[in-house]
Structures are given as C-alpha cells and as structure tokens.
Amino acid sequence: MQLLYSIASPARPFFRHAFQCLAAFLFFSQSALAYTLTCDLQGSFPELDKITLEPAQVKVDITSIGDHLYIRIDGPKLYNFFVNTLRTPEFEGTDLTSKTSMWVKRKNLKTMEESEIKINREPVNIKAIKDVQRYGKKLKFFVTGPCQLPPG
C-alpha cells in the first residue's frame, strides 16, 4: 500500500494539470462564434430631409453564444448600435434571421425605444434602425451600406 501511495503522490500534479486543461477546453469550446465585418454606412433621419450626415466606416461584431445573437456596430457616436436576442425585465430581443439575412431586433420595455440590425447575405450589406432623441424629438435613425467580409 505504501508503495502505491508513493507512486501516486508524484503523479497528482500531472492529473490536476490534465484536469485543468480538460476543463479549460470544455469551457472555451462552447458554441461561441464571432465574426467581424467592415462596413461603409450612410446615416439619415427620414423625417428631416434637410439634415445630411457624414458617411462612416464602422466595425460590425457578430457573436453567437448558444441560442443568442449579439450584434454591435462601432463607429462615430450616432452610428453605434447594439442589439441582441436576450429577454430580460428591461429588454426584449427577437431573432428574425432567415436564409437570406441575419436580423435582430431589440426593444427597451421601459422607454419603448427600438433598434434593429439586418445584415443581408448576398450581397453583404447592412440596414439598421434605432430610435434616438435629436433636435428635441424622438426620431428614427436609419443606416445602410455595403460590408466587406473578413479575409480568409
């Protein structure tokens, strides 16, 4: 018995390390996928024809974790968007994805403000809408434009 114990003691750190590696592999191998697009967008306020906005190049991050989609547009302040399919007491997200597009809507249940992002697959372009407070009014802000897929 003493012989078995003396053999097993030096092996414990190896097994502990192997278990930690297995746990890390299982944690990071969950169904999490991420993509990044670069898009050239033009924003507009349909209610205000005379207001013109500068176009912007933005980064679009698309993440899928389990059954939920997260889409973030990072660019100049007005061009920043974030939508997801989560449902919480404050927000209601909806996944409207189809064969031709990835489409996510998000609604703030307290303020009733909505935002949505639709990414068409062929050709790859984006259409997004969000409610904003501008010029003393609640307005719809629209953005559209083509996107480039990441290399590779």
Neighbours of 86 (CB within 10 A): 15
Q: Tens of pLDDT along 73-107? A: 999 999 999 999 999 999 999 999 999 999 999 99
Question: Residue 147: which pLDDT band, with cuts at 50, 70 and 90?
Answer: very high
Range with lowest mean pLDDT among 26-40, 43-57, 132-146: 26-40
Could you give the CA distance from residue 95 to residue 98 in angstroms, rounded to a whole number? 9
Q: Is the pLDDT reported for residue 31 higher than 80?
A: no
pLDDT at 24: 39
pLDDT at 4: 40
Q: Which residue from 70, 76, 75, 60 is spatially nearest to 125, judged by alpha carbons?
A: 60
